[in-house]
Amino acid sequence: MWSPVAVKTSPFVQVTDRTPVALPSTFSTPSTWSETELLDRLLASDANAWRELNNRYARLVTSCIQRVVARFARRVSVDAVEEIYATFSLKLLANDKHKLRSFEPSRGNKLGTWLGMLATHCAYDYLRSVRREPSPVCLTEAE
C-alpha cells in the first residue's frame, strides 16, 4: 500500500539491466549530472534528461552525421542530415531503449564518443538505403 512517508524517505530507484540503481535524493541541475546519472535518468524517461542529452550532444551528433553525408553530397538531399538525426533519435528509443541500455561505461567509453559512433553508423545505414532506391527520373525524360 502506498504511504507518503515511505515515498519521502526512500530515494527514487531505477532498474537498468535488472540491477537497481538509486538516483540521488538531492536536487541537482541537469548540467551537473554525470554521464551515468544522465543515462539512468534517460532510461527512467525523465524529460529533463532528454533535454540535457540534446543540449550536451546535439552538435556532436549533427557534426558526425554531416561528416559522413558531405562525402556523398551528390547522392543525398539537403534535408538528409535532419532525417538521419530523427532516425538516430528513434533508434535510441526503439525496443525499450535497447541502444541506451547497451552502453557500458565500464568498458572505458564516454557517452559522447559512443553516441557519435552510433550517429555515424546511422548515417551510413541511411546512405545504404538511399543507394538501394532507384534514381528519380524526370517525367519528360520518361516519355
As beta bridge partners, residue 15 has 20
Is the pLDDT at 3 greater than 90, yes or no? no
- DSSP type of residue 122: H
- Are 41 and 48 in contact by the 8 Å Cβ rule? The answer is yes
67-76 pLDDT tens trace: 999 988 777 8
Contacts of 124 (CB under 8 A, 6+ apart): 68
84-111 pLDDT tens trace: 999 999 999 898 889 989 988 888 889 9
Burial 118-141 (b: 16+ CB within 10 A, else e): bbbebbeebbeeeeeeeeeeeeee
32-69 pLDDT tens trace: 888 889 899 999 988 899 999 999 999 999 999 999 99
